[in-house]
Structure 1
């Protein structure tokens, strides 16, 4: 459960308890209670940069996990890695699947890296070498340094081994737009 969900739950519970208390107490028309509305309304709708940074980092981890699902899970009868037929059976479908997690240029780079001209069991054989310099699934927040110039729409971070990931906000979620190794 995220901090945002927990805070929303506490506010909702407070409002329910306050509402129940107000409905059972006699009405006092002399002075409305500003504390009940003041407790609910000052909730900041703007996210902190730390929260945005975490969303960018988590978005990058999810994106990398989807690449593993698409290019690194399915195997042919002879043990070769093949394009996962559950998600795609052609380069175009693979790029479309990836476009939910990467910007268009990155999705094309990934397809060019992983998809080969070989076929096995009627599927495209994939390149077993990772495109990514760092496996983000093996990292934690403590393993990355966030760029101080990050914004609400772009989060850039560097791993301990020098890989820099840039994510950008597209349709209210973060997708990877660039990966570089220093």
Structure 2
């Protein structure tokens, strides 16, 4: 019995010494002194215009994809296109959905172009004719010519088939502001 008490006491003493040694480690070891490399922390670099241009291009492609999702994906029982009921069931909800990808004026133009006065299966029938003069989803970045006057807040580019696209930054993200064949 004494041997068990001694072993238990020795184990307890060892754990206490180890715990004390760990908790009283020198403060310098925990937080080393700053070195020249650490004191010369890298400065936040400005985003290159090429990166901004790519963000504008991608935003335009996403915007077109969302318009197709909203207006040209869902079909009624008779096979005609209807406003996608998953995303919206009224013009107001369609414009609100689009405002995540288009500026306000463009969202209104798209809704006016696509939404008709007809209904089918309880949903608004949509116009079959595309609003877009080109299919950006089929374009490649190599087919795009960026405007040299682009800024961090506006990106304008032209497709190989002569369509000019303008995206602008709204609430810190790019949205489609204009698309037209020149």
TM-score for the superposition, normalised by structure 1 = 0.80
- Unaligned runs of at least 5 residues, structure 1: 1-21
How far did residue 134 of structure 1 move? 1.1
Q: Measure the CA separation in 1 of the matches of 2:66 and 2:72.
A: 9
> Partner residue of 2:123?
123
> Partner residue of 1:144?
144
Q: What RMSD in Å do the two structures reach over aligned CA positions?
A: 1.8
Q: Measure the CA separation in 2 of the matches of 1:142 and 1:133.
A: 19
Deviations 1:96-121 (A, max 9, x none): 11111111111111001101111110
> Partner residue of 1:36?
38
1:54 aligns with 2:48: no
Q: Measure the CA separation in 1 of the matches of 2:75 and 2:44.
A: 50
Which 4+ residue blocks in structure 1 deviate beyond 2 angstroms? none
Q: Measure the CA separation in 1 of the matches of 2:132 and 2:29.
A: 58
Q: Measure the CA separation in 1 of the matches of 2:173 and 2:147.
A: 19
Report the 3-state secondary structure (helix = DSSP H, G, I; strand = E; otherwise coil) of the residue aligned with 1:108. Answer: helix
Q: Measure the CA separation in 1 of the matches of 2:96 and 2:44.
A: 38
Matched ranges for 1:1-182 at <5 A? 32-38=34-40, 40-44=41-45, 46-182=46-182
- Unaligned runs of at least 5 residues, structure 2: 1-27
Q: Measure the CA separation in 1 of the matches of 2:29 and 2:139.
A: 50
Report the 3-state secondary structure (helix = DSSP H, G, I; strand = E; otherwise coil) of the residue aligned with 2:133. Answer: coil
Q: Specify whether residues 41 and 120 from structure 1 end up closer, same or farther in structure 2 by C-alpha distance, changes over 3 A only.
A: same
Q: Measure the CA separation in 1 of the matches of 2:114 and 2:101.
A: 16
TM-score for the superposition, normalised by structure 2 = 0.80
Q: Measure the CA separation in 1 of the matches of 2:29 and 2:52.
A: 39
Larger Rg belongs to: 2
Q: Measure the CA separation in 2 of the matches of 1:43 and 1:80.
A: 52
Number of matched pairs? 155
